[in-house]
């Protein structure tokens, strides 16, 4: 059966095999994520504690991710991913064992969260840079990025709801154990596939110099710098929903793990719909305008959720939040990957991940503590206002950004030099 145009990157056998394994692994990861936050709130009853665990789970991205980018530009990305996935399997297995033994404490949860953050900090940027080696036609790269978002957000829709049910019936340890098993799927596919290593230019400079060169390149590049700041601001404003959701489910709606999982699944549903929309696009042109739109959607979703006391409306607002957050990240990632050269790809993608994911731990810590003082609903409102301000500033700067984007699109053949507009 021929593969539709909207799924064109799946025509590449390597990408298709990896995609299937990654889907199974992501499902387990979302189940573990919801179980970790729920377990923390159940043990402590404190949003400051969930904020602390969220901080520990994501703060390694700030330091590890840039190093991972430089490393992935030097070594086989496939072998690096195999190593990290194997360590993640061992990590989830150990978390399962300690939980089943009844020895888990907030300290243990913090340690496991921090270790997972280190491993994820290595895996995420390497995975994003790895996509270009899996597709046969580089023009399919934007579609591959969009399909990866469908993968992540489709599993984000199913995983938390499934995790909530498993927690209610079998406990948190079962979620951790299922996650451990899910890593086998992606490991098997990574061992099977033979990606195109291409002709990467291995830097003759030291590892430290390569890291610094990557940051200097990204932060002095007028397009990449602006997009990094925007995606970091949106992530800071929107990502605390994960650590505030248990408090909303219990204190505002008087419900338990099932509703918590459904709220988080609503985020995944919205993100999945948005990812499908972007997967249907056939070119990168016009995405810089969509950054403003998606950021506004995310901010309005968070603000609406802050005021809502109706479950169905709350589901809708969380879906808007997911669609907006995912859309912003996909647009920024696609533009960056479309204009960056291969010898800088791993480092620049890792810096993108540092801004997008690394902004979250700071927000988790701050917003978790703030919610202790003013409550989770009012903290959601603060987050939404920050998101609106970020969208406004980006919109004001956008005409200048489009002028900077044009020569890069021309260089990479995205637009012809005769086209009078930057993006159509």
* Domains of the chain, residue spans: 5-196+205-411
Tokens of 336: 């960056």
Determine contact, residues 260/246, Cβ cutoff 8 Å. Answer: yes
Determine contact, residues 56/114, Cβ cutoff 8 Å. Answer: yes
What's the distance, CA 338 to chain centroid? 19
Classify the C-alpha dihedral 51-53-55-58 as positive or negative: negative
Q: Is 254 left (phi over 0), alpha (psi -120 to 50) or beta?
A: left
pLDDT of residue 419: 37
pLDDT of residue 6: 63
pTM tops 0.75, yes or no: no
pLDDT of residue 421: 41
pLDDT of residue 60: 82
pLDDT of residue 133: 77
pLDDT of residue 297: 95
Q: How far apart are CA 368 and CA 376, in angstroms?
A: 8
H helical segments located in 280-375: 287-307, 311-339, 342-374
H helical segments located in 239-310: 241-247, 257-279, 287-307
Q: What does the pLDDT profile of the chain (424 residues) look like in tens digits? A: 566 666 777 777 888 888 888 889 988 988 898 888 888 888 888 888 888 888 888 888 777 877 777 777 777 888 888 999 999 999 999 999 999 888 888 899 999 999 998 998 888 878 877 777 777 776 677 777 777 777 877 787 788 878 888 888 888 899 999 999 999 998 998 888 887 765 555 556 666 777 788 788 888 888 889 999 999 999 999 988 888 888 888 888 888 777 877 888 888 788 878 777 776 766 667 778 889 999 999 999 999 999 988 889 989 999 999 899 988 988 888 888 777 776 677 778 778 878 887 788 888 888 888 988 898 889 999 999 999 999 999 999 988 888 887 876 777 666 644 433 434 3
Other C-beta atoms lying within 10 Å of the C-beta of residue 101: 9
Q: Which CATH architecture has domain 5-196+205-411?
A: Up-down Bundle (1.20)
């Amino acid at each position: 059966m021929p593969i539709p145009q909207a799924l064109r990157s799946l025509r590449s056998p390597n990408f298709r095999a990896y995609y299937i394994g990654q889907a199974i692994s992501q499902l387990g990861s979302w189940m573990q994520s919801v179980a970790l936050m729920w377990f923390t709130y159940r043990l402590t009853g404190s949003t400051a504690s969930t904020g602390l665990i969220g901080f520990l789970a994501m703060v390694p991205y700030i330091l590890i991710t840039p190093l991972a980018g430089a490393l992935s530009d030097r070594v086989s990305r496939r072998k690096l991913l195999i190593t990290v996935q194997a360590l993640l399997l061992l990590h989830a297995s150990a978390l399962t064992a300690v939980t089943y033994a009844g020895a888990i404490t907030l300290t243990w949860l913090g340690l496991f969260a921090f270790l997972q953050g280190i491993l994820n900090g290595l895996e995420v940027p390497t995975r994003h840079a790895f996509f270009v080696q899996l597709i046969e036609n580089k023009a399919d790269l934007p579609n591959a990025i969009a399909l990866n978002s469908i993968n992540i957000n489709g599993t984000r829709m199913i995983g938390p709801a499934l995790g909530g049910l498993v927690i209610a019936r079998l406990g948190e340890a079962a979620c951790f154990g299922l996650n451990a098993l899910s890593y086998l799927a992606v490991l098997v596919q990574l061992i099977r596939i033979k990606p195109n290593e291409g002709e990467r230019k291995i830097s003759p400079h030291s590892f430290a110099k390569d890291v610094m060169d990557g940051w200097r390149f990204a932060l002095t590049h007028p397009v990449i710098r602006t997009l990094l700041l925007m995606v970091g601001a949106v992530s800071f404003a929107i990502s605390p929903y994960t650590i505030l959701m248990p408090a909303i489910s219990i204190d505002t709606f008087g419900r338990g793990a099932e509703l918590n999982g459904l709220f988080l699944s609503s985020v995944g549903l919205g993100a999945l719909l948005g990812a499908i929309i972007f997967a249907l696009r056939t070119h990168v042109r016009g995405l810089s305008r969509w950054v403003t739109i998606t950021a506004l959607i995310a901010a309005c979703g968070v603000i609406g959720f802050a005021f809502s006391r109706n479950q169905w409306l709350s589901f809708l607002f969380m879906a808007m939040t997911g669609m907006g957050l995912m859309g912003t990240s996909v647009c920024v990632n696609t533009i960056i990957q479309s204009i960056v050269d291969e010898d800088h790809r791993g480092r620049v993608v890792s810096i993108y991940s540092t801004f997008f994911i690394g902004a979250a731990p700071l927000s988790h810590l701050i917003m978790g503590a703030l919610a202790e003082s003013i409550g989770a609903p009012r903290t959601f409102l603060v987050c939404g206002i920050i998101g609106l301000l970020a969208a406004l500033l980006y919109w004001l700067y956008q005409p200048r950004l489009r002028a900077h984007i044009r020569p890069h699109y021309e260089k990479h053949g995205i637009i012809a030099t005769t086209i009078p507009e930057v993006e159509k």
